[in-house]
Amino acid sequence: PQVNKLEENLAKYTGAKYAYACSSGTDALLIALMAIDIQPDDEIITTPFTFIATAETIALLKAKPVFVDIDETTYNIDPKLIEAKITSKTKAIMVVHLYGHPCDMDAIMKIAKEYDLFVIEDCAEAFGSKIGNRHVGTFGDVSTFSFYGNKTITCGEGGMVVTNDDTLN
């Protein structure tokens, strides 16, 4: 019952339709990739300036992480560099909101829409962050949170997957 209440409260707080608890932020990333049906040899654009779990979960599914450098001001993935890395194998963009500072989601979502790519938001270090009145974790197709000991909200270990997409529910 407590886990169900946590899922309900996190969905309500962020504005997501669905929230699902899992054992860790790493597992949340893996579940998110599986939800969008990542297959071997798919390419996922992401940042190299992140915890190993970002690339690790992509590699676990035998997909390829394709690194795009960061913006030196925000330390987040630089949207101006994303399009140059898109190929016919690119399936998704996985952004990581760092230090409570959101990525440029307007620019990233515009690129994703143009190239028909999924967007995964890793919000492990940005719980409660907003762009305007909208919480991070509600821009992409599926998003993840971590509750590890050094995160904003912690229970020692744990994670959450959120989405507004009825087909990924």
Q: Catalytic residue positions?
A: 151
CA 129 to chain CA mean position, Å: 14
Torsion of CA 78, 104, 41, 30, to 10 degrees: 120
What are the b/e assignments for 135-160, b being 16+ CB within 10 Å? bbbbbbbbbbbbbbeebeeeeeebbb
For residues 141, 97, 122 and 109, what is the CA-based torsion angle, rounded to 10 degrees? 20
Question: How far apart are alpha carbons 164 and 76 in whole angstroms?
Answer: 23
